[in-house]
Amino acid sequence: MKMHESLRNHRISRGIQRKEMADLLDVGVRTYQTYETGTREPGMKHLIKIADFYDISLDDLVGREFPKKSLVDPE
């Protein structure tokens, strides 16, 4: 799942309006909307705030799935 889909899914599943999320992040509703459409990505400060609000990890929020191939050569 892509990050913008995750943002939208978490918000909808909890019955939260875009305005509430925009207020939490101290951004305009249109700015928050661009996060959910994938036109723009929130910065790390906002990602942390959103993950804390939903009580999830940043990995879950951004749609990172495990297991990932190691970037380090095992030898």
**pLDDT tens digits for range 16-51:** 999 999 999 999 999 999 999 999 999 999 999 999
* Each residue's pLDDT tens digit, 47-71: 999 999 999 999 999 888 776 666 6
pLDDT at residue 70, as a whole number = 60
26: left (phi over 0), alpha (psi -120 to 50) or beta: left
Higher pLDDT, residue 70 or 6: 6
Matching residue, tokens 């978490």? 10
Q: Is the pLDDT of residue 5 over 80?
A: yes
pLDDT at residue 19, as a whole number = 97
Task: Give the integer Cα–Cα distance in Å for 36 and 67.
Answer: 26
